[in-house]
Amino acid sequence: GQNIDQPTEMTATEGAIVQINCTYQTSGFNGLFWYQQHAGEAPTFLSYNVLDGLEEKGRFSSFLSRSKGYSYLLLKELQMKDSASYLCAVIDSGYALNFGKGTSLLVTP
């Protein structure tokens, strides 16, 4: 079966850095995605990791360790608009995404 865990909620201050962790146990591994979802909207793609290491894209970075079944999403210079849910998803042996339950991030002034 699939098991993807991430914290339910996090709070951080505007301008700060926050790290959202994701651990997974899946029957196979063909890549890990992070999506952002604002309330009432569709998920939108943030990042993709298939090899170990850090992928940086502007204020957002994503890290993967396949041996540890672990990833994190790092958000720097937080802005109020970053308040959203962040979804970790893994592709196992097929093509479909297996999603974690999401982390709701609240950015406060």
Partner 1 sequence: TAGITQAPTSQILAAGRSMTLRCTQDMRHNAMYWYRQDLGLGLRLIHYSNTAGTTGKGEVPDGYSVSRANTDDFPLTLASAVPSQTSVYFCASSDLAGGHNEQFFGPGTRLTVL
Q: Which residues of the chain form contacts with partner 1 (CB under 8 A)? A: 30-31, 33, 41-45, 48, 50, 87, 89, 91, 95-102
Query: How far apart are CB 64 and partner 1 at their closest, in Å?
Result: 13
Smaller CB distance to partner 1: residue 73 or 89? 89
Which is nearest to 74 in space by CA: 87, 84, 60? 60
Query: How far apart are CB 16 and partner 1 at their closest, in Å?
Result: 26
What is the dihedral sign for C-alpha 51, 8, 4, 99? negative
CA–CA dist 51, 95 (Å, integer): 17
Smaller CB distance to partner 1: residue 61 or 103? 103
* Residue pair 50/30 in contact by the 8 Å Cβ criterion: yes
Smaller CB distance to partner 1: residue 47 or 61? 47
Smaller CB distance to partner 1: residue 16 or 50? 50
Query: How far apart are CB 76 and partner 1 at their closest, in Å?
Result: 23
CA–CA dist 56, 97 (Å, integer): 22
